[in-house]
Amino acid sequence: MGLDIRKINLIEIKHNNWLKQLDCIIDFIDSFYEFRYKNSYEINIENCLPTNANGSKDRDDLLRLLGALEIKLNEWQIEFNWVSPRHTKSVVKNIENLSKYNDSCLWKYDKDTDLTYQYGKGWFYNNEIRKISNHVRDAIIIANYER
């Protein structure tokens, strides 16, 4: 049995400008410089486009951000996967639907048992008392994505 050295790092970027977001992401990835060259390294990115009132501008900015990030990752020779939003939605739907039939159970995500769901209470991570957001939940599912 191999050693699983998977580590999930979540960062929140609060810039409206996609170039500043790109700088934050590149700085974050660059902070693992030593790790990158000594270990296998892979990044999973959900390719989901926004559908809100500002959808057109947000979509254009997201496409610019993802395109620039893809160029940088290729330059650094870092493997990455585009993860379909269908993957996260199917995981969430399966767990939430199963929990309806046994609402006293705590359901664990099989690829990361620290991610749990309890019917009527919500999603939790690492046995914390407060619920996690849907964005954090999706990020954890994406981090555990395997082709």
33: left (phi over 0), alpha (psi -120 to 50) or beta: alpha
pLDDT for the residue 28: 84
pLDDT, one tens digit per residue, over 8-35 is: 666 667 778 899 989 988 998 888 777 7
pLDDT, one tens digit per residue, over 109-139 is: 988 888 999 888 899 998 888 898 888 888 8
Residue 2 — very low, low, confident or very high, per pLDDT cuts 50/70/90? very low
DSSP 66-116: HHHHHHHHHHTT-EEEEEPHHHHHHHHHHHHHHHHT-TTSEEEETTEEEEE
Q: 49 or 85, which is more confident?
A: 85
Residues 141, 113 contacting (CB under 8 angstroms)? no
